[in-house]
Structures are given as structure tokens and as C-alpha cells.
Structure 1
Amino acid sequence: MGSALSTPVRELAQGAALDFALQWSLWALAALLKTERFYDLAGNVTFLLLAHLTLRWGRTKYLRQQIQTGLVTLWGLRLGAFLFLRILRAGRDRRFNGIREKPGTFFIFWTIQGVWVFLTLLPTMLLNLEKHNKPLGMRDYLGWSIWAVGFITEAVADQQKWRFQVDSDNRGKFIQSGLWAYSRHPNYLGEILLWLGLFVSASSVFQGAQHICAISPLFVWFMLNYVSGIPVLERQAMKKWGNNFAFQQYLKNTPVLWPMKFKCL
């Protein structure tokens, strides 16, 4: 038992070391250049690297593991390309205003990205390192279905907002059409759902303490809902359109995240 347990722990530690080594090395370059242009891209590349490395380290390559890693790859390639093109178009990311010039504070952001990658990807890494296998079942198909809903939601929301922003007729306006008519942050909703789906599918072979990987979708939900996602964008939107009556109505009638309002009876 000791030998079986030591390998995943050792390899997870190696993955964590590589994760933070990448983030901190790129922080040094970004701080020197005072740019955040490759911040998001670096995070997505790290996701892909760790997913494929753990699949290789695990050596088993069961169908479940291959599908899981493939879904992470599809997500990473799409989102990484989208975020990189977006920062190239915009020139700068407003999240880093007043931060890119402060190396110490900038370092914290890169470190948080390292934590984000490791905790979010934990179910997939553990699955890839798992020697135990079982036939595909309903939990796998349910998880992959949730992932598909989340992936499509995020991709469609990103594309709708991109088209809205590049249209010169919409300059100075806020998007409230498409998926954005049902949620103020449908892209984040999709992100939460797809990582939830990957946990559900991976958990089909988890035992005992391995279920602590449920921290993955919970962490993504907490960070996007309370820390780095929605709060930042909501403050920026209020500063820009807070006195706009149409925006006030949008806030009143459109849920922040989930496309329905839950009311206590």
C-alpha cells in the first residue's frame, strides 16, 4: 500500500513544482517587460502540460483517462487562443492596471494562477495517475455531458461578446443579448460547469480521501464568484454604466450567474 500511495504523491509534487516554476519564471519575464500579455496563455499552457504529463506518468492510458485529458486539451486550446487574441486586440488587461508596475503584487497574481491551475486540474491529474480502472458508466457520461454544456456555454458566450465588442456601433454599450440576456456572466457559468463535469467523471474511480478533489469545482466557483472574476467585472461595469437606466434595469432583471433566481418560499 505504501508503494502504491507514494507514486501519485511524488508525481503530484513534481507537477506542483513544475507548475510554480513556470509561473514564477514567467513572472520574472513579465515583471521585467511590465506586461501581462501572456499571463492567461501561460496558465492555459500549464493546464495542458500537467494534464498530458500526468497521463504519461500514469502509464495506464485507459479510455477514461484519454477522454478526460482530451477534454482538458480541447478546453485549453480554445480558451487559450481566445484570451491571447483578446489581449492582443485590447493591448492591456484592466485587471492589472496599477499592478504590472509593482513586481511584488504582480508576483502574487502569478502565484495565485499556479494555485488555480493545480487545484482546478487535481481531479484529472489524480485520474491520470490512478492504476485502478472500471468500465465506463453513468457517472462518466453524466460528467462529460455537464462538461459539454459548460464548454458550449463558455464558447458561445465568449464569441457573442467578442462580436459585440468589435462592432463599432456598440462602442460605449454593454452586452445584454444572446446568453448575456439570461446571465450577466454566462462565460463564467460555463467555466464552473465544465470543471464540475470533469470532477464528476473522474470521481467514478475515486476511493476514500480521493474525493477531496471536489475542491476543484468549488474552488473555481468561489474564485470566479467572490474573488477574481465577477466582483472585478461588476465594479468596472458599475463605474462605467452605473448611472445608465438601461444598465440598472439589466442588473435588476438579469441574474449574476445562474440563469434563474432562487427565492426562499
Structure 2
Amino acid sequence: MDGFDWSGFALVSITSLLAAAILMVITAAFGFRWGRHNVVDVSWGAGFVLIALIAAAFGDGDAWRRWLLAGLVAVWGLRLASHMARRSSGHGEDPRYKRMLDDAGGNRTLTAIRKIYLTQGLALWFVSLPVQVSAVTHGSLGVFTAVGAVLWLVGVMFESVGDAQMSAFKADPSNRGTIMDRGLWGWTRHPNYFGDACVWWGIYLIAAQTWPGVLTAASPLAMTYFLVYATGARLLEQHMAERPGYREYQARTSYFLPRPPRP
């Protein structure tokens, strides 16, 4: 990787890792004090914004790319953080985290630190590697940049529209006890998670426009894994499995990738 600014990348990456660690320590302090660890969902989106701003400020690559990515991450991350803050306000622990800690057994405090805060702090840093690498690279606009921006837009639309549709559904008392299967939720059981994946594949494509951004493909792959198998859709499906009508909803609706519902 001749010509790559290793010292500049080290500065951005180490600073980003330190920022993620500090953010998770602060988040954990609030989580243990309030007795609910879903506060980490607010810090998840905000943490990416923090790292993107660090990359834009400390990187010495093309200014337009640094601040383009900072802007895209900020729009996505702040929307997600504010949505999660509103959704968790006045409620108790997220059933996903409760089940995770119940199943783990042993010391719940150590388990929460290891499986929630440490894991998400490292994931913040790793998934944001395309942004970090892009902060110290140089190059011109190209097809990857354009396709990445479009994919990011698709992702934000899926996530924001899906969340708005679900919020409206839950606000209607006549829907109590039923399964949301309308709008985007009729095409995929997890439009918000699918949108998240599109956002980070779009950001990766923008990074891949210049070398060595193309080598950071493991970051969106990791994000997709988290969303589909680790802490996202899989845990939510386990929680929803025994709800009346959910098995039928699973039978006719795609798990992740959108497609028309089965008859």
C-alpha cells in the first residue's frame, strides 16, 4: 500500500478507539445506575457520529470525502440515536438484553460489561473502519461514490420509514395484540435492520472508491452479521416467536431482504 498515510491512519484509528471506549464507560455508568442496559442503543448511533467527526477533523485526506462521510454518518446516527431515546423513554429493559443476561448466568455485571458494552465499543470502532481509512486517502469522485451515496439513501429511507410506520402502528389502540405486517413490514420483517445494512454498505462503497478503502469490506460484513444473526433480528425473532400470529407472519414475509409477501 505505497503512499498510504499510515501515521495519519494510526492517529485517527487510535483516537477513535479511545473515544469509543470512553463513550462506553460513560454509557455503562448510566446503564448500571438506571438498571437498564438499553441505553447503549442510544450510544450506538451517537458513537458512529463521534468517530466520523474525529476522522474528519484529524484526517489529512480529501476534505470533501472526509466531510461527506461525516455528514452521511451524522444524519444516520443522530436519527437513530434520537429514535432509540424516544422509544426507550419511560420503559424498562429491552427484552433482548434481559434474555441475553438471563441465559448467560453467572455474574450479571461482568456479563453486561463483556457482552454489551465491550462488544459494542469494539464493534463501533471496527464497523467504522471505512470512515477512518477514507479520512487519510486521496482520489476523485467515481462510480463507487455515486452508487454508495444512493445505497446510503435507500438505507436511510427504509430505516426511517419503517420506524415511522411501526410507531404509528403501536400508537393506534385498535392494533393492540396484532402483528405489524403493513407497508415495508409486509416486504421484510426487519426493514430498519435492512436499512442499517444498506447504509453501511453504501459508506463502504464510498470508501472503496480509493485505495485501500476496498480492503475494509469486513466492516460492513460485520455490521450485517450483527444485524441479522448476533444482536439484531435473531434476538428480536426469539422474543416475538410466541406472539399470536407471528408464525403466520414469518411464513409469508421475508426475513431480511425485501420481496413481495407470499399469499
Q: % of aligned pairs identical?
A: 26
State which drifts further: 6-15 or 225-234.
Answer: 6-15
Alpha-carbon separation, structure 1, partners of 2:224 and 2:4: 35
Distance (whole Å) between structure 2 residues aligned to residue 248 and residue 39 of structure 1: 30
Listed as ranges, the matches of 1:1-265 within 5 Å are 4-60=5-61, 62-97=63-98, 99=101, 102-108=108-114, 109-130=116-137, 133-207=138-212, 210-241=213-244, 244=245, 247-260=246-259
The letter of the residue matching 1:224 is: L
Q: TM-score scaled to structure 2, two decimals? A: 0.88
Contact 1:146 1:197 in 2 (8 A): yes
What is the CA distance between 1:110 and its match in structure 2? Answer: 0.8
Look up the equivalent residue of 2:230 and give its one-letter code.
V
Moved over 6 A (4+): none
CA distance in 2, matches of 1:2, 1:149: 34
Q: Given the two structures, how large is their TM-score scaled by the length of structure 1? A: 0.88
| 1:26-72 superposed Cα distances (whole Å, 9 cap, x missing partner) | 21342233223532122222211111111110145521221111010
- Give the partner amino acid of 1:50: I
Give the 3-state SS of the residue equivalent to 1:240 in structure 2.
Answer: coil
Counterpart AA for 1:249: E
Q: Report if aligned partners of 2:188, 2:258 keep a CA contact under 8 Å in 1.
A: yes
Range moving further from structure 2, 25-34 or 251-260: 25-34
CA RMSD of aligned residues (A): 2.1
- What code does the residue aligned with 1:49 have? L
| Deviation of the 1:143 alpha carbon | 0.5
Note the C-alpha offset of 1:213. 0.9
Cα distance change, pair 145–225 in 1 and its aligned pair in 2 (3 A):
same
Mark the runs of 5 or more structure 2 residues left unpaired by the alignment: none
8 Å Cα contact 1:55-1:61 kept in structure 2 = no
CA separation in 1, counterparts of 2:254 and 2:4?
50
C-alpha displacement of 1:134: 2.1
Aligned 8 A contact 2:31 2:37 in 1: yes
For 1:65 and 1:159, how far apart are their aligned partners in 2?
30
Q: Which whole-Å CA distance do the structure 2 matches of 1:33 and 1:74 have between them?
A: 28
134-143 or 96-105: bigger deviation:
96-105
Work out the CA distance in 1 between the residues paired with 2:226 and 2:4: 35
Q: How many residues align?
A: 253
